[in-house]
Amino acid sequence: MYKPTRFFLAALLSCSLLFLGGCGPKQVAPYSGGGGAGVDESANARMGNITEEMGPSVEGLDATGQGGAGSFGSGADQQSDAYKREHGRSSPEFKPIYFDYDQSSIRGDQIPTMEFNGSYLRNNPSARVLIEGNTDDRGTNEYNLALGERRAASAKKYLIQFGIEEGRIRTVSYGEERPLFTGTTEDDFAHNRRDDFILE
């Protein structure tokens, strides 16, 4: 009888901490673009090797040190709204895909982008990708995290059906926590409802 009581109290304490942890104020990380200047190495070790934080790889640079043909980093202002609308937080090798409100299925107009991303992975068999699911800020935190995960899982499933090995694809959901745009227009919401593709 003593062990079940101890187990119950430990479970109750764990649930309470999880509940209270989710009740704090939201902190939204600002858009960091693709610049690697001033990257904290200890933070990088905790977060993994994400191209967004480190900038384009040396292979993506031409002789002048600028992005080569097809590179998204060739002189583009990565903090501009136009750049964020087109590229999201995706690595230069990939393009983001966008979703309808409260939906996780890949829209027909996003299929060419998925094929573009899949072709890169097919042509670079050692490349690995992290798919980041994002939502707009309508709905609860918990609901949006689940929706972001479903969105990332949809893209992963598509890539697997395209012929990419499952072991080369990871997913994560940020829900509403990493918006590109903090406004409340439908355009802002539409560009926050996306999957980003990060080369690992």
**Cβ atoms of 74 and 66 closer than 8 Å:** yes
Which distant-in-sequence residues (6+ apart) come within 8 Å of 122 by Cβ? 162, 163, 164
Domains assigned to the chain:
49-54+78-200 (3.30.1330.60)
**pLDDT one-digit tens code per residue, 120-169:** 999 999 999 999 999 999 999 999 999 999 999 999 999 999 999 999 99
Q: Looking at residue 64, what is its pLDDT?
A: 32
Take residue 133 and report the two structure tokens written for it. 């699911």
**pLDDT one-digit tens code per residue, 59-69:** 333 333 333 33
**pLDDT one-digit tens code per residue, 164-192:** 999 999 999 999 999 999 999 999 999 99
**Amino acid at the residue 187:** D
Q: Determine the Cα–Cα distance for residues 77 and 159; give it in Å rounded to an integer.
A: 30
**pLDDT one-digit tens code per residue, 97-127:** 999 999 999 999 999 999 999 999 999 999 9
Q: Determine the Cα–Cα distance for residues 38 and 29; give it in Å rounded to an integer.
A: 16
CA quadruple 184, 185, 187, 192: dihedral, nearest 10:
10
Q: Determine the Cα–Cα distance for residues 129 and 119; give it in Å rounded to an integer.
A: 13
| pTM for the whole structure | 0.64
Which distant-in-sequence residues (6+ apart) come within 8 Å of 144 by Cβ? 135, 137, 175, 176
Which distant-in-sequence residues (6+ apart) come within 8 Å of 170 by Cβ? 128, 129, 130, 131, 200
**Cβ atoms of 67 and 74 closer than 8 Å:** yes
pLDDT higher at 193 or 47: 193
**pLDDT one-digit tens code per residue, 8-57:** 666 666 655 555 555 544 444 444 444 333 333 333 333 333 333 333 33
- Give the residue from 197, 198, 200, 199 showing the smallest Cα distance to 97: 197
Residue pointed to by tokens 């990565």: 78
How distant, in Å, are the alpha carbons of 70, 186, 199 from that of 65?
A: 14, 38, 20
**Cβ atoms of 178 and 134 closer than 8 Å:** yes
Which distant-in-sequence residues (6+ apart) come within 8 Å of 160 by Cβ? 166, 169
Q: Determine the Cα–Cα distance for residues 51 and 43; give it in Å rounded to an integer.
A: 14
